[in-house]
Amino acid sequence: MTNKDYEEICDSIASISPFIRFAGVIGESGELLAYKRRTELIPLLDEKDTQYQFSHIAIKTDLEGFFDKNLGEIEFVWEERKKVQTISFAIKKSRVWVSIDKKVIRSEMLRIIDSCLPIVKKHS
């Protein structure tokens, strides 16, 4: 895939909901390939912690591959944290990572996930 593809993924996902804080595509080594951030937001992670987070996602993605044969590939992962909710989707060896405002109701989270799936599948 090209950088333009990655940017298109981020733009499409970011436009799904005004509650989306950040949409990014992370490569298999933890590098940020493209992203879209809501403009008025102050990031929750500084640059160093952001890189640690992306490296962690890359490592987890690699480890999860060991279970794909028995359990099937991961379609998405949804995490609820104290300050933010995140969802991530696999596209080949990359990962799409999306952060969403904490106070979003579950039905909106499910709508966001359901809207992301066709975008991700189109590029898988």
Residue 120 has a pLDDT of: 93
Domain boundary assignment for the chain: 3-123
Token code pair at residue 39: 């403009």
Residue 75 has a pLDDT of: 83
Nearest by Cα to 116 from 76, 58, 57, 80: 76
Residue 45 has a pLDDT of: 66
Residue 30 has a pLDDT of: 80
Residue 58 has a pLDDT of: 65
Per-residue model confidence as pLDDT tens digits over 50-107: 666 766 666 676 666 667 778 888 788 898 989 999 998 988 888 899 999 999 999 9
Evaluate whether 6 touches 23 at the Cβ level (below 8 Å).
no
Token code pair at residue 107: 């039905």
Mean pLDDT confidence for 26-49 = 80
For residue 99, the cross-strand partners are 22, 86
Residue 59 has a pLDDT of: 62
What CATH code is assigned to 3-123?
3.30.450.30
Between 66 and 116, residue with greater pLDDT: 116
Per-residue model confidence as pLDDT tens digits over 17-26: 999 999 999 8
